[in-house]
Amino acid sequence: MRSLHIRTHANPSETVGSASQGEGDQQEDTSSYKYKLVTFYWLTDIEDPDGLVEAHRDFMKSRDCKGRIYINKQGINAQLSGMGTDAVDYAAFVMSDSRFEGCAWSVFPVEDHQFPRLALRFKPNLVSFEGGTQHLPITDSTQRATKIKPLEFRSKIQEALGGAKPYVLLDVRNDYEWDAGHFLGAERPSNQRFRDTQLDAPGEPLHGVSKDTPILMYCTGGIRCDVYSTVLRERGFKEMYTIEGGVQAYLRDVGKENWDGELFVFDDRLATPNVPQDPEGEGMKAHVGDRPCFCCRQPVAAPPHRNCANVDCNRLFLVCANCLQEHTAHCSAECLECSTRQRPLTLNHGDTGRYNKWHQYAAETVSVRGGGRGRRRQQKRERTKAREMELALEAVKNGDFQSEEIANSRHSRRRMERRVEAARLLMEAGELPSDVDVQALKEAIVAMYERQQKSQAA
């Protein structure tokens, strides 16, 4: 497996193009690669996340980077690709901040950008989890699982597989990630999204397990283990271990010992190592793999995953060549029969799972698109705006315009701040009655905006 460097404070001028290998492999010269993929995260208290976002955006203005970079009061989570050393330069810029001292980053050589655009913004939760993460002590390392080196993790897995110690091997990922590859002895997760993870619920690996049982938990890069281990700690589990650097570090340092399959990743590669592509642009090559096909359940599918062609399903799944053709890239016969909005089988540029946007398809190549999605989006926008007004009203009635709920609102941060500030000004001006309701507050804010516009126009 072509893998990565992990450095704590690298010199951006250093060569990052040589990829380290698993045990016994030879290093590969990657200096010819035009792009680098960089991933890292760090959990720490940030007093001014908005200011940090702006500083990072300023740094990025002259650099060719695309990816996802999320910052909030609990730290940073970043996956990005960049031309030349642009992405590595950004990582070094981040590590130059004393708040991120000790943070390591991972570098992969890639052929092109691995993300469609750059999203660098404040996000209330660094990872999506039901109920959010603000109430979890994820910045307190004593509340998280103990990080151990990949070689030590291998030793503990061998002890577990050999029955020497009663470890529980816990996969803190999604079901489709497990399908691509997993540690031997780890049960398949039942959730399709990390936000729904409840590994101690009935039927899950930790249900009925003694709180004193040691747990070996793993995920791709480590952040999901850090978050979920604080949940388990609050529920009484005492001894938890996770891999320093995640599975990607294990595959780099140890190789595929005790690992079955490939590693699912959340970028255009979808799985590592990269899978050969069809030069004719028909997506996945029809080569036989050893992973279970989602449709026929036979062990003949090969990574990477693909999305169901039914837009309303969009499931990520592994599929064999026969089922791919039989179901025309749908994950089931039901999706094939009921779908009113279907993607064409051919993918853009022959990639592994990303489809073009609807407007990029010729009209005759797609099924008629209904209006259901547009209506649902509009309804969601209306619910969001209504909740924003409710929060603003609560601020007026409580006299608390800096509440934690407002600061950590999942809604548009700038819009939320504008509404609350408008409510505060109206209250101070005495323009709000004591029995003001949401509708009256909304009308008052709209009227204030109109007065401001007329004043500016004059």
Is residue 104 domain-shared with residue 165, that is, in the same domain? no
Kindly list the distances between the CA atom of residue 266 and the CA atoms of 67, 117, 196, 430, in Å, as whole numbers in the listed order. 11, 14, 18, 51
pLDDT band at 281 (very low <50, low <70, confident <90, very high): very low
Torsion angle (degrees, nearest 10) of CA 134, 196, 386, 380: 140
Catalytic residue among 219, 225, 295, 308: 219
| Known catalytic membership, residue 219 | yes
User: Is 366 in contact with 291 (CB distance < 8 Å)?
Assistant: no
pTM reported for the whole predicted model? 0.65
Angle ∠(52,58,64) on CA atoms, nearest 5: 120
pLDDT band at 376 (very low <50, low <70, confident <90, very high): low
Angle, in degrees to the nearest 10, between helices 438-457 and 413-428: 90
| Maximum pairwise Cα distance, the chain | 81
pLDDT tens string 397-448: 777 766 666 555 555 556 677 777 888 888 888 888 777 887 888 888 888 8
Among 226, 245, 264, residue at a domain's last position: 264
Per-residue pLDDT reduced to its tens digit, 133-169: 889 999 999 999 999 999 999 999 999 888 878 899 9
In a domain, 94, yes or no: yes
Q: Is 428 inside any structural domain?
A: yes
The per-residue pLDDT for range 320-354, each reduced to its tens digit, is 888 888 887 888 888 877 756 676 655 544 444 45
User: Count of domains in the chain?
Assistant: 3
Query: Residue 255: left if φ>0, alpha if ψ -120 to 50, beta else—which one?
Result: left
CATH, residue 253: 3.40.250.10
Residue 230 included in any domain = yes
Residue 26: which domain range?
A: 5-122
Give domain status of residue 65, yes or no.
yes
In this structure, the answer to whether residues 152 and 61 fall within a common structural domain is no
Distance CA 442, CA 268 (A): 43
Which one has a higher pLDDT value, 443 or 120?
A: 120
